Amino acid sequence: MRAAVLRSIDSGLKIEELNDPKPKDNEVLIRVNAVGLCHTDLHVLRGHIPFPLPAVLGHEVSGIVESVGNGVDNVQRGDRVVGPFILPCGKCRLCIRGNEDLCENFYNYNRLKGVYYDGTSRLTAKDGSAVYMYSMAAHAEYSVIPATSVFKVPDTMNLDDASILGCAIMTAYGACRNASLKPAEQVAVYGIGGVGSNVVQIASKVFNTDVIAIDIRDEKLEYAKSLGAKHVINSKKEDPVKAIMDITDGRGVDASIEVIGMKDTISAAIRSVRSGGRAVLVGLSSKGNEAGFEINFLVRKGVHIIGSYGGKPRIDMPEIIALASKGVIDVANVISERFKLEEVNEAFEKLEKGGIKGRAVIKVMQ
């Protein structure tokens, strides 16, 4: 099969022929249809987040089930499916407690070692050597995914569009849920990219809040308005914290959600909230990066800082798919560009320069 393989940070992604993967027990093999383009993959691609090489990236996917391993009963050959980036083992103490977004085995095996929970990758080069997997390694014609992270989508849903349900939308949905949003609350969203744009629409349309969108590009802010933002702030032209205080009559927002992973925006997100408010941090950064806050502000105002990593696949994905199929979550409108697998480097370069509004997808199945 063809796959975009990262063998070194300096050389970038190259299309190679790998051996066709096969599912093991409790796993599903899909023919990949489309894959969302995410900044997290970009962090790995540029070496900001260490990961074993050679590797195949791509962690939100749609496709058609090709075959299933023993023990799989939730999908069958021919089903149209999506796969979210978190692959819960279902057995660790956190999965058992319902915190599968924090699955220990997912982090220790997949995120640190690029393998599945038997300690091996499902990908091999033509010489038989291992190729490591970032999540399900979906920048390829075929992908093996644990059955715990494969979900059917209705025939009425466009399969290209559905590819972004598993990260851009699940991460946004998880952030809104972790923020404990309530109707009529005011919410500030820092960064209107692939995840941030979905935070805007989910916070406004699903959780019925008033959204303030913050970005440095006017075109992205206009886009945020179309997704439900009530106010927009260009943080390159004005101080976002002061602007938020003006909008909220000096109180601050009930919750702020930061999806960029930068020191300045994290600080601003924390300073934007009211007494007792919540600052939810979603954006990943380079390994070792730290952000700070004013101690007295945090203590005296009782501000809660909440880390939010994706969502809970087996809990959130059925609800997300239902909301998207009903049109409550607009999937098509947040996809602004589509690339071929051979154009993957061009796509990441455009993403890195901030040139993609909303989410882009890599179309694999032709």
Q: Using one digit for the tens of pLDDT, what is the confidence trace for 173-194? A: 999 999 999 999 999 999 998 8
pLDDT of residue 289: 86
Over residues 295-328, the pLDDT tens digits come to: 999 999 999 999 999 999 999 999 999 999 999 9
Indicate if the pLDDT at residue 284 is higher than 90: no
Q: What is the Cα–Cα distance from 199 to 356, expressed in whole angstroms?
A: 16
d(CA 290, CA 272): 19
Q: 339 - beta bridge partners?
A: 362
pLDDT at 332: 86
pLDDT of residue 212: 98
pLDDT of 74 higher than 80 = yes
Averaged pLDDT score across all residues of the chain: 95
- Quickly state the pLDDT bin for 41 (edges 50, 70, 90): very high
Q: What is the pLDDT of residue 122?
A: 98
User: Within 10 A of 44 (CB to CB), how many other CB atoms are there?
Assistant: 21
pLDDT category, 229, cuts 50, 70, 90? very high
What is the reported pLDDT for 90?
A: 93
- Average the pLDDT over 109-130 and give the result: 97
In angstroms, the CA 229 to CA 187 distance is 10
CATH of domain 2-166+311-363: 3.90.180.10
Domain 169-307 has CATH 3.40.50.10380: no
Average pLDDT over residues 57-77: 97
Confidence of residue 104 (pLDDT cuts 50, 70, 90): very high
Q: How sure is the predictor about 66, in pLDDT bands with cuts at 50, 70 and 90?
A: very high
Is pLDDT at 333 greater than 90 in this prediction? no
Mean pLDDT calculated for residue range 227-255:
97
Could you check whether 2-166+311-363 and 169-307 share the same CATH topology? Answer: no
Residue ranges per structural domain of the chain: 2-166+311-363, 169-307
Question: Mind listing the pLDDT tens digit for each residue in 210-221?
Answer: 999 999 999 999
Backbone angles phi, psi at 87, to 5 degrees: -115, 80
pLDDT reading at 253 higher than 80: yes
User: Is 45's pLDDT higher than 80?
Assistant: yes
pLDDT at position 198: 95
Closest CA to 130 of 273, 21, 249: 21
Q: What is the pTM of this model?
A: 0.94
Give the Cα-Cα-Cα angle 303, 305, 307 (nearest 5 degrees): 165
**Overall residue count recorded for the chain in this entry:** 366
Q: How far is CA 137 from CA 63, 89, 173, 340, 353, in A?
A: 13, 17, 23, 16, 24
Mean pLDDT within 105-113: 97
pLDDT at 268 over 80: yes
The residue among 307 and 366 whose pLDDT is bigger is 307
Percent of the chain with pLDDT over 70: 100
Contact 178, 277 (CB under 8 A): no
| Rounded average pLDDT over 135-153 | 98
